Structure 1
Amino acid sequence: MVTLLWIIAVILVIAGIFAIIRGQLLWGIVLIVVGLLVGPGGVSIFT
């Protein structure tokens, strides 16, 4: 479960970075924040 959350978090953060590069600043920030919440935050919530 922990590994799955980290994989999802990494994918969200990478997608957010690419969105920022393409010029979609707001969507990129949202994806990065959600990725950070799912990763370290989600791991601490579920364990």
Structure 2
Amino acid sequence: MGDSYEVDPELLPQAIADLEEALFQLDQLRFDADQHGNKRVAA
């Protein structure tokens, strides 16, 4: 691990946006599960 790989700074904003979108969708799924009483999804 460590500095054995390079990250293209140009790609970071898109990567962050994709991650935020994925987290938002996960929150929506968790909320929907809570609404339906499925507590197994509560992480």
**Common topology (TM > 0.5):** yes
Residue 22 (str. 1) matches residue 36 (str. 2): yes
Residue 2 (str. 1) matches residue 12 (str. 2): no
Count of matched residue positions in the alignment of Structure 1 and Structure 2: 29
Deviations 1:1-45 (A, max 9, x none): 000000000000010000011010121x12xxxxxxxxxxxxxxx
TM-score (norm 2): 0.61
Residue 11 (str. 1) matches residue 34 (str. 2): no
Distance 2:32 2:40 in 1: 12
| Structure 1 runs, 4 residues or longer, greater than 6 Å off | none
Name the % identity: 14
Unmatched 5+ stretches in structure 2: 1-14
